[in-house]
Chain A
């Protein structure tokens, strides 16, 4: 198998004559059932964490509904043509959720799910942090605190192009301890970038413990409001609540939007759920089996 993908993000063989088939309809009112797809993404993540390197399991599991709602309901994208100029853009600022993003992109059709098995292998483009060689990945991230500034650039470009394309930036809550996030937050509000939507994966944990103990972020919603943002607070595992918040039309006051998504780190894996140690794991054969069993049990009604 070649070490690169046939279709590379940012390059397309030909421009589509009309709006592409899969991305033609704006998905803002889409209520596609996501039960199966979120379950499959979780299984992919767990299986990738059982590979040679292990992976960022906790922060990938907490993201699953956020990414699924964006790619399967909200964003206007074409997985067959990742560089489609009219697409909405997602930047995974918490780049360590890379395997969650790869699994979502594969399920959305950007590349075959079989290729997820290459994650962490020698010579594979599937590195732990998002690699732009992988179709659908817009920007390389992984150093925390860069995504919101990048998002400002995308949002400004959209304004200059006079389109209503949107830019979504997904951040970790620990990531908000980086000062660069707040510098960018101030710029986005000052320039009324209402096409910019930030999502905070509010799982309450970082590597060394609870965000509340390491470097508290509360009152988080008030902080964003004070910076001039419109704030939604939702259950980050409730796909309909996420859909409503993520697809809300910009208001008259043209503020950027932040969705604070309350999540559970390691969601779906009872053995590590809501524990800091879920951050990174290399699952052995038995742990892998138990994790898959737990996911499948949760899936049965």
Chain B
């Protein structure tokens, strides 16, 4: 297999850094906020000033992290539970379910290195099941960060929510998304309105690929709607169904297993509302067993603009 060309990563802050900076700003202002760390290294060099006592590094103990966060929340605090997405959603999932979701407590799970953003660190550090695991939990809000600007807005909006939130953050700086209407938590952002096919994308590279595909498709006479769906739960089924009602065919794109994730959520919702075909692009059903950058691994798995174009042309014209 020949290696696809991989562009150099951009310099904007990664979504985990955007989140960290917002939390750093928030801590001294809100007495309720507690930052629980698990030896992540994300807060190295951060000065919380008068709020330093509310930064607690418990060490490498993710299960305890989620239990402790729930206890703090029950006592009126707003804990931010920091770990990698892989450990939040698989290792600590029972504590998330029973202690946090069941009690509907305002814990913010800040899950970094999501998707394949851990790249060469390998399958133990990839989190391709987290959307599936988190979105099925009652009370949980699931927010997927993309570029720096939308992450900034989403993290600030998530702070106001009364219940638990899963913040799916990336490890790497990513290019900016195309400009669009304001990012509103719970609503799909309509980046482009078309008539022939709906491309609903979740996460930075999926949205960028969707955009690139839409431009290419327009040259081929196919007019695509592009939706940036950052909130997977609650899912904005109204916007999705409205778009699908116009275009018919929907293509979902995500950095997650094809099974159980964003595309599955879209398919579940639309199948009850209208007769449209939903194609899901995502990571195929096998563990990644090679090294590579985030972009390389997505390309290799076929989560690309080319694959979207291919799907769109074959289903719209075929």
| Size bracket, chain B contacts | 20 to 34
Q: How long is the Cα–Cα vector from A206 to B40 in the complex, in angstroms?
A: 10
Main secondary structure of the interface of B (DSSP, over half): loop
For the residues of A in contact with B, the DSSP-based class is: loop
Q: Which residues does chain A contribute within 8 Å of B86, judged by CB atoms? A: 143
Report chain B residues within 8 Å CB of A175.
60
User: How many Å from the CB of A103 to the closest CB on chain B?
Assistant: 16
B contact residues around A126 at 8 Å (CB)? 291
Q: How far is the CA of A284 from the CA of B57 in the complex (A)?
A: 31
Tell me, yes or no, whether A119 is within 8 Å of chain B by CB.
Answer: yes
Choose from A53, A95, A133 the contact partner of B120 (Cβ within 8 Å). A53
Q: Which chain A residues border B124 with CB–CB below 8 Å?
A: 95, 129, 140-143
Q: Which of A97-151 contact B (CB under 8 A)?
A: 118-129, 131-133, 140-145
* Docked pose: A174 CA to B122 CA in angstroms: 21
Choose from B3, B39, B123, B292 the contact partner of A208 (Cβ within 8 Å). B39
Contact across chains for B44 and A208 when beta carbons are under 8 A apart: yes
* Distance to closest chain B CB from A247 (angstroms): 30
Contact B293 A140 (CB under 8 A): no
Contact indicator B290/A124 (Cβ below 8 Å): yes
A28 at the interface (CB under 8 A from B): no
B205 within 8 A of A: no
Known: A123-B1, A123-B3, A214-B39. A177 touches B59 (CB 8 A): yes
Q: Which residues from A are CB-within-8-Å of B166? A: none
Does B147 interact with chain A (Cβ within 8 Å)? no
**Docked CA distance A133–B122 (Å):** 12
B255 at the interface (CB under 8 A from A): no
B39 and A122 contact, CB distance less than 8 A: no
- Asked if residues A140 and B60 are in contact (CB atoms below 8 Å), the reply is no
Q: Name which residue of chain A comes closest to B287, CB basis.
A: A140
Q: Is B87 an interface residue (CB 8 A)?
A: yes
Which A-chain residue is minimally distant from B296 (CB atoms)? A122
Q: With A3-B290, A129-B122, A140-B124 given, is the CB distance from A179 to B39 under 8 Å?
A: no
Between A and B, 5 residue pairs with Cβ closer than 8 Å are: A3-B1, A122-B3, A122-B296, A125-B291, A128-B121
Name the 5 nearest CB pairs between A and B, nearest first: A215-B59, A142-B124, A127-B122, A177-B59, A177-B60
Given A122-B291, A122-B292, A174-B60, 9 more A-B residue pairs with CB atoms under 8 Å apart are A122-B293, A123-B292, A128-B121, A129-B124, A129-B125, A132-B289, A142-B124, A174-B59, A175-B60
Q: Which residues of B contact A (CB under 8 A)?
A: 1, 3, 6, 37, 39-41, 43-44, 57-64, 86-87, 91, 119-125, 289-293, 296, 300
